[in-house]
Amino acid sequence: MQSRPKLLLWNTRSGVAYVVDELSPSSTGSRRELWRGATNLQLVGTSNGLLCLCDNSCRGRAGGDVTLVNPATRETLAIPPLPYAGELVGHHLEATRWDKAYGFGCHPTSGQYKVVHVPCSFDWVCKFDTVYVLTLTPGKEAFWRKLPAVPGTSCNLDAGIVSVNGMTHWVTTDGGGAARVVSFDLDSEHLTFSPTPRKVGLSDDYNLTEVRGRLGVVGRKPSGTRDAWVRENGRWIHRFSVKYSWQDIPRPNFAFGDYFLKREGTKLYGHRTFDWRWHDVLEVRYDDQGMLVAKMTGDSTCYFYDDYHTFAYVSTLEPLGLYSTKSS
């Protein structure tokens, strides 16, 4: 039986992953170091205890270098370079966030891990016109496959990519119309489209999230406050709201166990939802500080989301040696 997920905090500046072992009223805000990489590494996503990392260092090619890591066994698996999809232009490779175009997940039925690279454009650098997929199967060599191009699927990289329950999701604004969610089934490899929450269309500052195995969206109001919606049975429902501009909702995961998470400065707080009904909206106001979850280092004036991303983590002893790639 799989253990309950823990909270993983990824420091985007230092390339270090921390784990919060305890989410309870007795929490002291402590966290332990799980994995230490380099400052040019970014965490793409987690799945069943595996971390998918992207090295954004400039190596003269598009896509960066992707590696899978199992922190529990200290094993790593190098993923082959992404097949090149166009000419590099300009001189901005050193500032390119290649990690933003990847997704990583496992389909709950097939049990297959897949790394996904979405259609997107890196301004002044290069453009990818279709989905690339790499499937990990025990005993078989993994390689990138280029899927047929589908119009209207180019990713808004600023909105993020999340993999939830066997689907990888991103947002597109192709065609100049309303933003739409593109969902890629990790089993069938089919694409589907759905609308974003109506009120998100009023803002250009929003991010996809995962909320207890469901797809969510965190959006910023003109006042600076943030709201979160969750997709339930095909409908977007408003579920969480922080009422002051100095408060934030961490991303891409803000729900762990019985708690919704809120950031204030370099501190992360939890607000319990065990007696909260699914049709209710949890509103956090000025005098509702919540339970201290983690104390982070850094400048208290900076945005938590810029320095730390939040993920789910379950330790596993699954050996990465079961898989092979052309780079391993």
Give the model confidence (pLDDT) of 180-231 as tens digits: 999 999 999 999 999 998 776 556 789 999 998 999 999 988 777 889 999 9
Q: How far is CA 104 from the centre of its chain?
A: 9
pLDDT tier, 288 (very low <50, low <70, confident <90, very high otherwise):
confident
pLDDT in tens, 129-188: 899 999 999 989 999 999 998 999 999 999 999 999 999 999 998 766 788 999 999 999
Block residue for tokens 């078989």: 140
Which pLDDT tens digit goes with each residue over 208-221?
999 989 999 999 88
- Predicted local distance difference test score (pLDDT) of residue 284: 83
Ranking 30-34, 237-241, 243-247, 295-299 by mean pLDDT, the lowest is 295-299
